[in-house]
């Protein structure tokens, strides 16, 4: 979620043209400075929105996991309670049986034996009864402990669920507030922005033609059906600096994802989006990689901890490239470029790793 260097450069160029106009150079120079200042504010806002949106996505993944765990645990708790009730009934039946059967105790069994063989049979009978009583007792204890344990887990999960729901609500409110402020700033320089948008559209059309030609000229690798599983969730997004793998990553087998992602160039950015109606940065990866059989969580922080580490010098089409502390992600397409969903108000587009912001905030790459 960022304005790229190209956007800033185009703005500077456009404003320079305005300043060069002979009419009222002082006023125009002031207007140019105001627009540049506002653009810098919008850029900083986009960096914070990056983090807020992906923190929201991370909380959503957590909440979905908690909801699934709660549903499964409720079923297991019901089963444990049924088993405990059955075990209690067996205890009651056993007590009734002992009370009504007038079974002799062990001493009576020994004294009443008529022979050594009779004694062995009597003792064996008592031991079998004792073993059955032990099994019943063990079952009652086990099922009672399971009920208690599952009740505790259920209560803890419900507390965690409430906390994550509250966190999500806070994230949403923060995002919506930042978006409103961002829109207000954009409206104040809308004339300059419209000129820049036209120039950016033309540049993106050229980059798209080049990227599609590149995809056509290379034989796409077949995709495996592997599934990436998200790591265990915690209360905070994972650290954005995993240790590099001790060995080089295997060759990319998912270069076909590039063609999928390029198909959606021009689709508008929508935070929380993971469909052709709108994508955020991690949502574009979720959707595109699913098309080649790789299933990722909708969180750039979690995506950053899946797959294998890839050195920047070894990037291949289909690798995921991360920026800004792993709060932004795109799909490498080759030639130093990547496709991504940048920020609110923009569309799925192609950018370069060499652009200043992406180069300075590059966080690493992963191969799935």
Tell me if 2 sits within 8 A of 341, measured CB to CB: no
Interacting residues of 297 by C-beta distance below 8 A, sequence separation 6+: 61, 230, 286, 303, 306
Picking from 365, 263, 343, the residue whose alpha carbon sits closest to that of residue 51 is 343
Picking from 362, 202, 181, the residue whose alpha carbon sits closest to that of residue 266 is 202
Q: How many CB atoms lie within 10 A of CB 51?
A: 20
Is 88 catalytic? The answer is no
Q: Which of 254, 298, 305, 328 is catalytic?
A: 328
Q: Which of 254, 298, 305, 340 is catalytic?
A: 340
CA distance 182 to 179: 5
Own/partner pairs, 282-285, CB within 8 angstroms, 24+ separation: 282/54, 282/57, 282/329, 283/57, 283/341, 284/330, 284/331, 284/339, 284/340, 284/341, 284/348, 285/320, 285/329, 285/331
Is 153 catalytic? The answer is no
Q: Which of 281, 298, 305, 343 is catalytic?
A: 281
Alpha helices in 102-189, H assignment, sequence order: 106-111, 116-188
By annotation, the residues acting in catalysis are 281, 328, 340
């Amino acid at each position: 979620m960022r304005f790229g260097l190209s956007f800033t450069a185009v703005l500077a160029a456009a404003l320079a043209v305005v300043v060069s106009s002979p009419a009222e150079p002082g006023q125009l120079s002031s207007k140019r400075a105001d627009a540049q200042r506002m653009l810098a504010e919008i850029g900083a806002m986009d960096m914070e929105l990056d983090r807020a949106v992906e923190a929201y996505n991370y909380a959503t993944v957590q909440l979905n996991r908690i909801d699934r765990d709660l549903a499964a645990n409720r079923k297991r708790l019901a089963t444990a309670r049924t088993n405990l009730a059955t075990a209690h009934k067996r205890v009651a039946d056993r007590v009734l049986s002992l009370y009504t059967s007038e079974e002799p105790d062990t001493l009576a069994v020994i004294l009443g034996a008529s022979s050594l063989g009779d004694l062995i049979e009597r003792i064996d009978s008592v031991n079998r009864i004792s073993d059955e009583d032990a099994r019943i007792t063990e079952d009652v204890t086990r099922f009672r402990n399971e009920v208690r344990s599952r009740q505790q887990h259920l209560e803890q999960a419900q507390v965690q669920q409430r906390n994550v729901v509250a966190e999500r609500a806070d994230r949403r409110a923060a995002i919506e507030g930042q978006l409103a402020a961002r829109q207000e700033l954009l409206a104040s320089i809308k004339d300059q922005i419209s000129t820049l948008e036209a120039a950016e559209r033309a540049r993106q059309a050229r980059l798209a033609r080049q990227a599609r030609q590149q995809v056509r000229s290379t034989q796409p690798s077949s995709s495996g059906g592997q599934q990436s599983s998200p790591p265990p969730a915690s209360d905070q997004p994972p650290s954005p600096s995993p240790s590099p793998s001790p060995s080089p990553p295997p060759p990319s087998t998912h270069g076909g994802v590039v063609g999928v992602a390029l198909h959606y160039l021009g689709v508008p950015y929508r935070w929380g989006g993971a469909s052709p109606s709108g994508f955020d940065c991690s949502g574009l990866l979720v959707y595109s990689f699913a098309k080649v059989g790789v299933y990722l969580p909708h969180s750039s922080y979690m995506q950053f901890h899946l797959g294998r580490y890839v050195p920047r010098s070894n990037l291949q089409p289909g690798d995921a490239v991360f920026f800004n502390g792993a709060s932004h992600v795109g799909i490498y397409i080759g030639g130093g470029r990547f496709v991504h969903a940048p920020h609110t108000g923009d569309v799925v587009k192609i950018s370069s790793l060499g652009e200043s912001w992406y180069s300075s905030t590059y966080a690493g790459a992963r191969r799935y």
